[in-house]
Structure 1
Amino acid sequence: MSRLHLLAKDVRENPYPFYAELRRSSPVCQVDPNDMWVVTRYDDIVATLKNTQVFSSAGMRIATEHPCLQRKNPISDSLIVADPPRHGNLRNLINRGFTAATVSSLEPHMRATAARLTDDLLRRRVVDFIPDFACRAQFSVMARLTGLDPSLEEHFNRWTADLVSVGTIPPDDHARIGEVRRTIDEMERCMQDLLATRRSRMEDDLVTDLLRLRVNDSALTESDVIAFLFLLLVAGLETTITLMTHLALILARRPVWMDRLRAEPGLIPGFIEEALRFEPPAQAVMRLTLAETELGGVRLPAHAMVVLLLGSALRDEARFEDPDRFDPERRAQASLAFGHGAHFCLGASLARTQARVVLEELTRRCRRIELRAERLEWNVALNTRCPLALPVEVVPA
């Protein structure tokens, strides 16, 4: 087969047949754009994620930096691009402010928000699920978690879209580069204002917790907190919005599951796990080789950019029986959808809880979610895969 281009239109529309062919014929190989190396098999990806001595998280910088931006993106100093020992030190501090109790305390707010937004869907009937439900639901949770003003929702939707696109902007697209630079400036000022407000008036929120944290006399610097908030708000918004969007799309395409989940709400957690496997919100993570190494029988040079295709790993025939069949009763835990090992996503429990609450409200109140588009257009990004719009009609139960 000709060299795969990860951002080609037909690959974005349905990457899974292309991934399957790579697993069969070239499980570790070079692709476009930029001659990156891809890894497609489950076991190879897990081994790579465990081997931080050779495969550095600095590879994620390709998705957070652009040579023409002429300023640092705070996400480039966050947990997602840190290696040991800095990663462990940061994570030990941040873990203290991001506990199971925090997630549990947010559930009543999640449920009230999901109920209110479902009311709105049922009143309007024909909507774009992404801005009208998924974005509003998740920003409400992020605002509650961090203490951000809920009126900033529109700004954060735009900022998130800009920051997710950084790694795919052509170097000659000066207008787009300028827009992203302004986005980073605006978002950083917003975070600085939030920290200044919290230093003068502490509240019961995550930002206050992060400012108060001390572990072995260590504290997070202002830059550390801003970098984490950039990561939390961009990744937390983008991945969970994408998860909710895929849940709605799966229900629209498989209406029998609306009936089953309404009749048996206990099936909802398994449905979410299968959705995470079948359509993972994070399609890929990047690593950088620190030395020449061998993986899957292929020699990788030092300083090679390596793309770990999580979307391929979660459909690996060696790991999952009949992997292209959506089957919530297979009881496969899709933890790899949130990473693995030291970089396992801090927000995994929050995303799963939000997804469960949303599904409980939607399936209880709606009889059908019907797709109102013959063909969907997909975003262009290395890390995530999501429709640009999801027009649906919501039918009451």
Structure 2
Amino acid sequence: MSRLNLFSPDVRENPYPFYAELRRSSPVCQVDPNGIWVVTRYDDIVAALKNTQVFSSAGMRAATEPPHLQRHNPLSDSPILADPPRHTQLRNLINRAFTPATVSSLEPHMRSTAASLVADLVQRRRAEFISEFACRAQIRLLVQLIGLDPSLEKQFVRWTIDMVSVGTTSPEDHARLDEVRRTIDEMEQFMQELLASRRQRMEDDLVSELLRSRVNDAALTDKDVIALLLLILVAGMETTETLLTHMVMLLAQRPVWMDRLRAEPALIPRFIEEVLRFEPPVHVTMRLTLAETELGGVRLPAHAMIALLLGSGLRDETRFPDADSFDPERRAQASLAFGHGAHFCLGALLARTQARVVLEELLRRCRRFELRAERLEWNSVLNTRCPRALPIEVIAA
């Protein structure tokens, strides 16, 4: 029997039946590409995420800095790729940038942006939702959060696309690799100039806050700050953009929920939680075993690449009854969609707030959405799962 390939077209289009079979028959096993180990059950995934002494976040470094990139990627210095105690120090330094007060202060900006984009959507009626709404809404939020010039939005989007493609660009695609290297050069130079400017004149923004931060008299280095800013731009862009996309996709497929949420707005947060569970933006997070260990009754060798299938854990029947049904009224929460333990996503509150505000504005102006494609084509990135495009027609309220 051949091994499952996570990149096969059938798996990319609908991975959930394959995940279910693995949970039943081989919850911890090797798959392709490259014979990586996968972990599919909720409890085993949580156990691995908690055990940072054995399951190292260095496992994700291969995606940001593959050998064929032939240069250092500053994103590899971010806390998402660090283990305690280094991760703990970085996380403590940036915690204050994502406090409830900070997120609350950004909500008026989120709402005005969403209202403007929704008005444009309603006027045009037909749109490709990802590029024309989700991407624009999120990049404007991140530009506001970091304190960057809004005129550079298109440049930041291009940077994000190039950085996401690092782990999926073929070693033989020399032209594309050259483009990515130029992007990294541009980003580093821009960030270095930004830090120098803020040091001359501190402002009320995230960059200045990071430069001021002190924990036990320790400050972030320029390398740390640049890595954090790139992480916010790249991870914050890709994940929340995907959440917004899945939200609208599911509403188009289940129009009854448009009327239900409009009539019962108190259900909106639970609807978002179910979107996160049912179609999580992040499907896989990688770890590297630092020693031989056992997980789910299976011996794992040292230095093994481990793919924790969050998308499978969030459909685990032992944790979520009737897991393959989309039910926003279920009580179980989908916090695993943002990771668990030491690496729980700092931007979770920001993402949830952005999703709520966008959904409230969409419900205010839109009666329903209709998909304008017979079949969606899905991306080929291991850690995230999202349609390449979401063409929709908007029926105004």
Report the TM-score when normalising by structure 2: 0.98
- 1:102 deviates by 0.6
Which amino acid in structure 2 is aligned with residue 128 of structure 1?
E
2:98/2:350 contact within 8 Å kept = no
1:139/1:150 contact within 8 Å kept = no
Corresponding residue number in structure 2 for 1:171: 171
Residues 198-277 of structure 1: pairs in structure 2 closer than 5 A: 198-277=198-277
Deviations 1:79-130 (A, max 9, x none): 1110111011111111123211110100000001100100000110100111
- 1:132 deviates by 1.0
Q: How many matched pairs?
A: 397
Residues 1-397 of structure 1: pairs in structure 2 closer than 5 A: 2-397=2-397
Deviations 1:36-81 (A, max 9, x none): 1000000000000001111101001122111011111111111111
- Is the deviation greater in 341-350 or in 88-97? 88-97
Task: Give the distance between the partners of 1:171 and 1:31, measured in 2 at CA.
Answer: 22
Task: Give the distance between the partners of 2:301 and 2:257, measured in 1 at CA.
Answer: 47
Which amino acid in structure 2 is aligned with residue 156 of structure 1?
F
Q: Secondary structure at the match of 1:328?
A: coil
1:165/1:380 contact within 8 Å kept = no
Which amino acid in structure 2 is aligned with residue 359 of structure 1?
L
Deviations 1:10-41 (A, max 9, x none): 21111111111111111111111121100000
Which amino acid in structure 1 is aligned with residue 266 of structure 2?
G
Task: Give the distance between the partners of 2:26 and 2:189, measured in 1 at CA.
Answer: 46
2:192/2:226 contact within 8 Å kept = yes
- Is the deviation greater in 197-206 or in 75-84? 197-206
Q: Secondary structure at the match of 1:68?
A: helix
1:166/1:180 contact within 8 Å kept = yes
Deviations 1:291-333 (A, max 9, x none): 1111111111100000000000000011110101000000221
1:251/1:257 contact within 8 Å kept = yes
Report the TM-score when normalising by structure 1: 0.98
Structure 2 unaligned segments of length 5 or more: list them.
none
- 1:159 deviates by 1.8
- 1:191 deviates by 1.5
Indicate the percent of aligned positions where both proteins have the same amino acid.
Answer: 77
Q: Secondary structure at the match of 2:376?
A: coil
Structure 1 residue runs of 4+, over 6 Å off? none
- 1:193 deviates by 2.1
1:114/1:358 contact within 8 Å kept = yes
Task: Give the distance between the partners of 1:26 and 1:185, measured in 2 at CA.
Answer: 43
2:280/2:311 contact within 8 Å kept = yes
Which amino acid in structure 2 is aligned with residue 248 of structure 1?
V
Task: Give the distance between the partners of 1:254 and 1:352, measured in 2 at CA.
Answer: 21
Q: Secondary structure at the match of 1:329?
A: coil
Deviations 1:353-378 (A, max 9, x none): 00000000101110011100111111
Q: Secondary structure at the match of 2:355?
A: helix
Task: Give the distance between the partners of 1:12 and 1:114, measured in 2 at CA.
Answer: 30
Which amino acid in structure 2 is aligned with residue 393 of structure 1?
E
Task: Give the distance between the partners of 1:207 and 1:15, measured in 2 at CA.
Answer: 39
Task: Give the distance between the partners of 1:304 and 1:76, measured in 2 at CA.
Answer: 19
Task: Give the distance between the partners of 2:38 and 2:251, measured in 1 at CA.
Answer: 31
- 1:181 deviates by 1.2
Task: Give the distance between the partners of 1:8 and 1:312, measured in 2 at CA.
Answer: 17
Task: Give the distance between the partners of 2:163 and 2:15, measured in 1 at CA.
Answer: 23
Deviations 1:233-286 (A, max 9, x none): 100000000000000000000000011111111110000000000000111100
- Is the deviation greater in 298-307 or in 93-102? 93-102
RMSD: 1.0
